[in-house]
């Protein structure tokens, strides 16, 4: 009798260990999708919150914020060295487009690779783990002029550089940036203004090389930067876009709507995991029942 009890106890422990191993495996498999879904949800909320706060602005506040950002970009090429930043410059930079104190400067949309992400000041780990960072020392993502002005005027110049990670298990970000080709377009939205950029150059540089990030007189550029080769990260992939006329109206509304879509790949684990767990417990119950009968 004692031997049977010992064998039964050993059988239960084995089943428990198998269940734990299975649950751990399910957790490991589901983590990337769950994490990406979680980050996508927060990114969408950040974009929606940004749009709502802009809608609540008075005309005076709106114009003051945009005027200051455009003036910042106009003065940047006049600096002896755009990468030399003192405390006064950094304080001014941090205040630009930061009307709600969150550091959210707007958002970027890249239809080719299905990206809709908020843009924040700087490239700290906290920013790059979940969003796109603006490279300090480059032009703000408002372009060189107001939309109604001639942004091709030779006196105007802007070069905004945005950085995003590749290959994070928790967020997609710029993982698919290498799929971009010359002629593809992407969009920057700040306040309620949208600028369209068409990819005109794709290059790979070493991290110390900043020659491709400088401001060019008479050009309104935006460069997207990420690490390459994938998983090795010894170089930087640069996808540069030159500003062109907007293709369609109400682009910001379309982007916001897209940001709120939940992809099937994100939903699948939430359905599959409970089903698998129920199946495991059903098998264990059936096995236990058969053991008792025996």
- Averaged pLDDT score across all residues of the chain: 80
The mean pLDDT of 180-209, rounded to a whole number, is: 95
The mean pLDDT of 51-79, rounded to a whole number, is: 91
CATH level 3 topology of 10-285: Sortase; Chain: A; (2.40.260)
DSSP string, 92-106: HHHHTT-TTSS-EEE
Which pLDDT does position 246 carry in this prediction? 86
Tokens read off for 159: 């070069």
Using alpha carbons, list the distances in angstroms from residue 57 to 46, 80, 92, 191. Answer: 17, 35, 21, 10
pLDDT > 70: what percent of the chain? 66
Which pLDDT does position 19 carry in this prediction? 64
Which pLDDT does position 135 carry in this prediction? 97
Task: Please state, in angstroms and rounded to a whole number, the distance separating the CA atoms of residues 106 and 104.
Answer: 6
Which pLDDT does position 192 carry in this prediction? 85
Q: Flag the least confident range among 29-43, 53-67, 159-173, 257-271.
A: 257-271
Tokens read off for 166: 């590749």
The mean pLDDT of 8-32, rounded to a whole number, is: 62
Which pLDDT does position 41 carry in this prediction? 67
Total residue count of the chain as it appears in this document: 294
Backbone angles phi, psi at 280, to 5 degrees: -65, -50
Q: Mark residue 92 as left, alpha or beta (left: phi above 0; alpha: psi -120 to 50; beta: remaining).
A: alpha
Task: Please state, in angstroms and rounded to a whole number, the distance separating the CA atoms of residues 91 and 102.
Answer: 15
Handedness of CA 265, 269, 270, 271 (dihedral sign): positive
Backbone angles phi, psi at 120, to 5 degrees: -125, 160
Residues forming a β-bridge with 146:
none
Task: Please state, in angstroms and rounded to a whole number, the distance separating the CA atoms of residues 157 and 219.
Answer: 5
Using alpha carbons, list the distances in angstroms from residue 102 to 53, 70, 80, 150, 177. Answer: 11, 20, 30, 31, 26
Which pLDDT does position 201 carry in this prediction? 97
Question: Any residues with CB less than 8 A from the CB of 11 and at least 6 apart, and which?
Answer: 291
The mean pLDDT of 66-87, rounded to a whole number, is: 90
The residue among 243 and 34 whose pLDDT is bigger is: 243
Q: Mark residue 233 as left, alpha or beta (left: phi above 0; alpha: psi -120 to 50; beta: remaining).
A: left
Tokens read off for 265: 């790949």
Task: Please state, in angstroms and rounded to a whole number, the distance separating the CA atoms of residues 173 and 117.
Answer: 8
Which pLDDT does position 185 carry in this prediction? 97
Which pLDDT does position 157 carry in this prediction? 87
The DSSP 8-state label assigned to residue 263 in this structure reads: P
The residue among 171 and 282 whose pLDDT is bigger is: 171
Query: Do residues 133 and 162 lie in contact, with contact meaning Cβ atoms separated by under 8 Å?
Result: yes
Task: Please state, in angstroms and rounded to a whole number, the distance separating the CA atoms of residues 259 and 262.
Answer: 8
pLDDT band at 260 (very low <50, low <70, confident <90, very high): very low
The mean pLDDT of 139-153, rounded to a whole number, is: 68
Query: Do residues 74 and 150 lie in contact, with contact meaning Cβ atoms separated by under 8 Å?
Result: no
């Amino acid at each position: 009798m004692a031997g049977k009890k010992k064998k039964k106890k050993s059988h239960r422990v084995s089943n428990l260990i198998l269940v734990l191993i299975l649950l751990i495996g399910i957790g490991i498999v589901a983590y990337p999708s769950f994490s990406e879904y979680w980050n996508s949800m927060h990114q969408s909320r950040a974009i929606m919150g940004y749009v709502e706060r802009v809608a609540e602005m008075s005309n005076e506040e709106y114009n003051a914020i945009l005027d200051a950002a455009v003036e910042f970009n106009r003065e940047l090429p006049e600096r002896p060295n755009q990468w030399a930043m003192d405390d006064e410059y950094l304080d001014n930079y941090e205040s630009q487009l930061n009307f709600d104190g969150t550091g959210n400067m707007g958002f970027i949309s890249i239809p080719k690779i299905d990206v809709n992400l908020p843009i924040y000041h700087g490239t700290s780990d906290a920013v790059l783990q979940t969003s796109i960072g603006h490279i300090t020392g480059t032009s703000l993502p408002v372009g060189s002029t107001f939309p109604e002005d001639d942004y091709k005027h030779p006196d105007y110049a802007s070069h905004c550089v945005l950085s995003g990670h590749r290959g994070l298990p928790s967020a997609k970000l710029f993982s698919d940036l290498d799929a971009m080709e010359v002629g593809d377009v992407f969009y920057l939205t700040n306040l309620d203004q949208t600028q369209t950029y068409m990819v005109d150059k794709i290059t790979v540089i070493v991290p110390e090389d900043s020659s491709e990030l400088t401001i060019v007189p008479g050009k309104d550029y935006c460069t997207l930067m990420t690490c390459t080769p994938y998983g090795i990260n010894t170089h930087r992939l640069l996808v540069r876009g030159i500003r062109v006329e907007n293709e369609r109206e109400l682009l910001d509304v379309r982007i916001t709507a897209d940001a709120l879509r939940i992809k099937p790949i994100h939903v699948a684990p939430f359905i599959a995991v409970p089903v698998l767990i129920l199946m495991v417990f059903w098998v264990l119950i059936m096995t236990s029942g058969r053991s008792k009968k025996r």
